[in-house]
Amino acid sequence: MECEQFISDLDFFHITLTDRQLWQFMRYYELLTEWNSFMNLTAITDFDEVCKKHFVDSVSLVKAYDLSQNLHVIDIGTGAGFPGIPLKIVFPNLNVTLLDSLNKRIRFLDTVISELELSDITALHGRAEDYAKPDKLREAFDLCVSRAVANLSTLSEYCLPYVKKGGSFISYKSEKIEEEGKNAQHAIELLGGKVSGQIAFTLPQSDIYRNLYIIEKVKETPKKYPRKAGLPSKEPL
């Protein structure tokens, strides 16, 4: 596998990998394609495309947040581990929780965590609505991230309850979301958040547009949110 393009793309974000980190990414790619042959993890399997559209995209978060601190991070709807696992590889100081509702994906993530010899990272099987309860993981994280495909109102209801006051929720978006952002304002405020910025860019040497939408947690989320399973997506706030 030729890694020059991947290394160059990461350099765009001022990220330089150690030999071990590069090995972890290569092993991750091997596991992803191996498991993808018998379960649906990603439609993208070409090496260069996985590197750019999954690995580099995941760590592009550095444009929006200082990840050098010892942060507790949760990745909601992580799927095949994006962005949580690439972030953990590049920033071993992070304590990462990966949450996904599909148990077979959790088996894949547990295999990746074990094979890559990652520590301080956990994969949890469950719905975002359930783990946000006070006796579970409510308001336990400095940072919540999500690349999940859902509108910003719905994502905010899933994600903001996990963020402690003073922390942030950052949504990875692949399109211009002025309208979606306007429509989500009410939900964001209701859930204790405040939009603190958005960072738009294209991934290096591509026309792939990205928008990191940054929401700061300014007050506690009212106890009635998130609503019961299914409602946040069926009836956005």
Position 180 scores a pLDDT of: 85
37 exposure class (CB count in 10 Å sphere: 0-12, 13-18, 19+): exposed
Domain ranges of the chain: 4-234
Banded pLDDT at 75 (limits 50, 70, 90): very high
CB within 8 Å of 66: residues ≥ 6 apart? none
190-to-7, 116, 156, 223 alpha-carbon distances in Å:
42, 40, 10, 11
Position 158 scores a pLDDT of: 96
Position 229 scores a pLDDT of: 86
**Token reading at 36:** 């993808």
Residue found by looking up tokens 């890694």 in the block = 3
Position 45 scores a pLDDT of: 94
Residue 104 is which amino acid?
A: K
Report d(CA 123, CA 100) in Å as an integer: 8
Residue found by looking up tokens 């996985």 in the block = 50
Banded pLDDT at 154 (limits 50, 70, 90): very high
Report d(CA 155, CA 29) in Å as an integer: 27
Banded pLDDT at 97 (limits 50, 70, 90): very high
Residue 97 CA, chain-centre distance (Å), reads 10
Position 87 scores a pLDDT of: 98
Of 173, 224, 179, give the one whose Cα is nearest residue 199: 173
| Chain segment 5-34, per-residue pLDDT in tens | 999 999 999 999 999 999 999 999 999 999
Position 178 scores a pLDDT of: 79
Q: Edge-to-edge strands of the sheet including 209-217?
A: 121-125, 95-100, 72-76, 141-146, 163-173, 209-217, 193-202
CB within 8 Å of 180: residues ≥ 6 apart? 151, 152, 173
Position 124 scores a pLDDT of: 98
With a cut of 80, say whether residue 171 has pLDDT above it: yes
With a cut of 90, say whether residue 181 has pLDDT above it: no
| Chain segment 123-145, per-residue pLDDT in tens | 999 999 999 988 899 999 999 99
Please state whether the predicted TM-score (pTM) of the whole model is above 0.85. yes
Report d(CA 56, CA 204) in Å as an integer: 9
Domain 4-234 fold is Rossmann fold (3.40.50)
Position 193 scores a pLDDT of: 97
The mean of the pLDDT values for the chain is 95
With a cut of 80, say whether residue 176 has pLDDT above it: no
Name the pairing type of β-strands 121-125 and 163-173: unpaired
With a cut of 80, say whether residue 112 has pLDDT above it: yes
